[in-house]
Every structure is written in structure tokens, then in C-alpha cells.
Amino acid sequence: MTRFKMPLLTLAATLLLALSMAFGQRLVVSQGIDVPGFDPHGHSNAAMEAVLVNLFDYLVWKSVDGEFEPGLATSWEPIADDAWRFTLREGVVFHDGTPFTGEDVKFTLERLAGDDGLAEFVNYRQIREVEVVSDHEIVIHTDGPDPLLVNRISRVGSGIVSKDYVERVGWEAFATAPIGTGPFQFVNWIRDQEIEMAAFDDHWRGRPAFDTLLHRTIPEDSTRVAELMTGGVDIITNIPEQDQDRIGTSNAARVELAPSNFVMMVVFNVREGTETADPLIREAIDLAIDRDLLVDGLMGGLGVPTAARLNPGISAAPIDRYFGVNNYDPERARELIAEAGYAPGELTINMYGASGRFALGAELTEIVGVMLEEVGFSTNVDIREFSAYSSTVWNAGAFEHMVVTGLGNSFGDNWFAMRALLCGGQYDDRVGWCNERFDELMNAAETEVDPTARAEMLHEATDIVAEERPWITLFQRQDLVGVSSDVEWTPRADGMLWMFEATPAN
């Protein structure tokens, strides 16, 4: 009997190997939400873009560390104040086999810049025209100098589509059967269940290591974790902090820390007549908040305190001066309250927060409130469901003193981070802060193409915001990503689930 055991085992192993080769290597990735469709320009959401980057390429790609690197463009340079030349990669084909040319870039970028119904229109309309010099050379003309052009075309919405295909089938059909030049090609989509993609053999970077890429939508965090632990999925995002150890100690998967460009912050109302118009009060609030405690106690260590809206990877930002800084000095905060003329407990700060948008957003607001009470403020904490908060508090500009919120930075640039604070800008009518010098610097930086000069301007602008405190920042948020032991993959700072970089372990 034993004589037959070894040959039988060998036969079984060979069969299994043959079967796995026949079915190919499959990688399953899971997030809590699904894409709304596959029109890469029809949304403004990083989690959705995270999926679409597998199907579409940008002209300029960002490395894991956020450095620009060639994508569909092999090189680029400014040739005038308002024009950039891009040399396009040769030999690139779309998933249907048609070649990629400058006409596709023109079609894509001019759509983004011209259709005000698209969510990302406002971030692309600076593009005036895309001039096709030849099949593999284009010039992008902008409305005035645009130092952010490369950031602009390497982010949400920048996926290049096939002009020929869209003109043949229309956008409606494209949204459910897309064609791109990305490492994976579309196979099937079952809404809110799964998206199936197959490795694209003719991808210009080479063939991805996995034959099939499946994106599954699993809204419940604990279910996503259970699927990772049982091998049902290989990579999951947004792991609850409390599940970190459970996954870490299992042999099935590991937990990786994913930095993000997302900063939690407090925005003040500084209009005349409100108590927070007094810089002493804003400073007292700033010094009352212990960011280390927030990160360690509330966020389970997932974050880094920061004293400005920046983090490593953000261009033209004084990272060294502000990142990792915890402006916490409760004694000084008490003195400032007294200097402002209030007895302990006399001044009530009305603060608002949202639930359901940011991880632990409601709890964060409450704890910040407790910290303010520690130094001698009274507080009214008002937490509303996000869309109610958004329409009745934030967009209505209806908050007396402060809101606790969070903001991402899809451009990865410091100008983008502070643009909302310009006089007459997005925040002016809500918070009433306007600073001439800040505007001068920001307006100059908006059109300054020399990176050094631009960085200097933006460093000074950052200092003004830190000094005047129309907003104060709390911490850079970090996320937990679970990766199966069978897969090699490192999470990216921009949150993109780009699976060209994933390979089987061993």
C-alpha cells in the first residue's frame, strides 16, 4: 500500500498545480464601497479612484513615496509661462488593441476642462487647450502659469481614455464597459458585489503578476477582517484599530500602516463679534489640545501630530517645522484665557462635529471638548450625522465658534492645502478670515513656476496661518491595511490600491 502513497501524492500535487495554473493566480482586494461606474472623470473620491487606477493610466504617475515618475508621458517640461510639453510613450495600446496617441490625451483632458457637470471640473478647467503636435508629443496650454499642472494631471480624474472607443460607444456604455491602458482590463462588474479584472498582456510596463484581480465590496469592517483571516480576500483597507492585534498574531495576514494626506483639524469662526475672533482665545484652544494623547489614546497610535495642514510627501511645505509638533501647553492656555478677560468656566465655546465621515470623528470632537474644559472653557458639543452637519453647519457657515473636521490633499501640494483660506475663497464666507499678505503670497505662488521661489512663498504663507490660526491642525491620519501572508504589497501614501505592484509571496 505504502508503495502507492508517494506516486499518488505526487499525482495529486501535480493535479493541484495544474488546476491552479489553469485558473491562474487570483488576487482579491476589498474595500467598504463600490465604484459608481467606470467613467474615470465622473467622481471625486479617492477610494473609488483607488480601484480605477488599475484600469487607467495617468500621464504622470506617483511612486509609493509620492515622487513624480513617467506614466503615459516619458518626459515633460515647461516651454512657456503657460505651456508644458509632454513626450508620450510609444508602443502603448488600449485594452482593445488600438494604439494610444496624443488625440486620446486631448480628448480626455479637454473633456475634464470643459464639462462643468463633472465633479472634478474645477480642478481641471485651468487647462485651456491640449495641442497635439504629433502622435507622441503634446503641448498643454493653461490659463496663465500653472505650476501645479503636473500635480493636477496625476490624481483623481486623470485617467486617460480611448477617444476612438468613447466616440464609438458613448459615455453611458463606457461607464459599464471601460477601456483603458492600465495593467488590468475590465471583465465584469456586479454592483456593490465585485469587479473582475484580468491581467492585460500588452501593458507597457509588462504583465502584472496576478492573472485576475477581484475587487470585492464588503461594507462591514468586521466582515472584511473575517474574510482576510479566512483567506477569502487578500488585501483589505480601513481595518478597525481593535482588530490590529488579532490579524497581526494570525499567520493568515499582516497589518501595514498606511500614511495618508489626510489631516484632522479645527476650523474657527473669526468673524467680528464672535469670541473666537480674539486671537488669544484661538491660541488658548490650540494650546489646550494634547495631540499625542489624541493619537495614542483615541486613534490607537494611528496618526502623527502636526501643527500645520501638511505631512511628508506634500510639496512646497515646511514639513520639518510643523510635522510631528504637538502645540500643547495647558498652563499657557489658562493664562491666555485670563488675558482675554475671562474667568475659568465663563466662556462657552460652541463646537460642532460630524459622525459617519471620519474614523472616530464624533469621539474626537467630544474629547477635544473635554480638553478645552480642562483649561477653563465651558463647551457645547454638537455632533450631527455628516450630511446634516454639512448642510446645516458647514456649508451654511452656521457655527459660532469652531468645527472639528478633516481634509485630504489629492494634489499633494501645500498651495492646494491652503487655497481655501484666500480672501473671498471657499472659507471666507464661513470663517471670515482674510489676510492680505497671505493672499499676496498665495496668488504669487499660484503662478510661480520656479519651485524654490514658490516653496519660499508657501512656507511664509504656512507661517501666517500657524500664527493667526484661522484653523489649527491636530494630526495626520494613518490607516491600517491588511495584507495576506500569500501576497507581497506595500500600501501607498495616496491610498491607491494599485495592484501592478502586488506579487505572490514566495
Q: Which residues are near another protein by CB under 8 A?
A: 33-34, 36-37, 39, 42-44, 116-117, 119, 121-122, 171-172, 175-176, 190-194, 216-220, 222-223, 226-227, 229-230, 232, 356-357, 385-388, 390-391, 394-395, 405-408, 410, 420, 425-427, 429
Residue placing its CB nearer to another protein in the complex, 101 or 405: 405
The distance of Cα 25 from the centroid of its chain, to the nearest Å, equals 29
Query: How far is it, in rounded angstroms, from Cα 350 to Cα 91?
Result: 60
Q: Pick between residue 119 and residue 187 the one whose CB is nearest to another protein.
A: 119
d(CA 483, CA 334): 46
Closest distance of CB 323 from another protein, Å? 20
Tell which phi-psi region holds residue 343, choosing left (phi > 0), alpha (psi between -120 and 50) or beta: beta
Cβ 496 to another protein, closest distance in Å?
16
Q: What does the block give as the cell for 394?
A: 458647514
> Beta strand pairing status for 487-488 and 68-70?
unpaired
- Compare residues 42 and 71 and give the one whose CB is closer to another protein: 42
- Alpha-helix residue ranges (DSSP H) falling in 175-220: none
Closest separation in Å from C-beta 419 to another protein: 8
Give 191 or 205: the residue with its C-beta nearer to another protein. 191
User: Rg (Cα) of the chain, in Å, rounded?
Assistant: 25
Asked whether 282 and 270 are in contact (CB, 8 A), the reply is: yes
C-alpha to C-alpha distance for 435 and 20, rounded to whole angstroms: 64
Which backbone phi and psi does 399 adopt, to 5 degrees? Answer: -135, 135
| Nearest approach, Cβ of residue 385 and another protein (Å) | 7
Least separation in angstroms between CB 261 and another protein:
12
Q: Which is nearer to another protein, 91 or 424 (CB)?
A: 424
Burial of 5 (0-12, 13-18, 19+ CB in 10 A): exposed
C-alpha cell of residue 490: 506595500
Looking at beta carbons only, is 32 or 78 nearer to another protein? 32
- CB of 221 vs another protein, minimal distance in Å: 10
Closest CA to 197 of 224, 216, 221: 216
CA distance 352 to 267: 10
Look-up of cell digits 456586479:
190
The DSSP output letter for 419 is: G
Q: Confirm if 477 and 302 have CB atoms less than 8 A apart.
A: yes
Measured distance between the N- and C-terminal CA atoms of the chain, rounded to whole angstroms: 34
Distance CA 402, CA 319 (A): 25
Give the residue carrying C-alpha cell 478677560: 341
Nearer to another protein, 30 or 276 (CB): 30
Residue 49 Cβ vs another protein, minimum distance, rounded to whole Å: 12
Considering the complex, what minimum distance in angstroms separates the CB of residue 393 from another protein? Answer: 10
CB of 143 to another protein, least distance (A): 15
Query: Which residue's CB is nearer to another protein, number 81 or number 429?
Result: 429
The β-bridge relationship of strands 73-80 and 83-88 is antiparallel
- Give me the half-sphere count of Cα atoms (radius 13 Å) on the Cβ side of residue 382: 18
Of 229 and 481, CB closest to another protein = 229
**Which lies closer to another protein via its Cβ, residue 136 or residue 155?**
155
Count of CB atoms within 10 A of residue 2's CB?
A: 5
CA-based max dimension of the chain = 94
DSSP assignment letter at 84: E
The minimum distance between CB 462 and another protein, in angstroms, equals 16
Burial class (CB in 10 A: 0-12, 13-18, 19+), 441: buried
Q: What angle do CA 443, 266, 147 make, to 5 degrees?
A: 25
Beta carbon nearer to another protein, 34 or 104: 34
Pick between residue 237 and residue 405 the one whose CB is nearest to another protein: 405
Minimum gap (Å) between residue 267 Cβ and another protein: 10
CB of 36 to another protein, least distance (A): 5
Is there a contact between 37 and 45 (Cβ–Cβ < 8 Å)? no
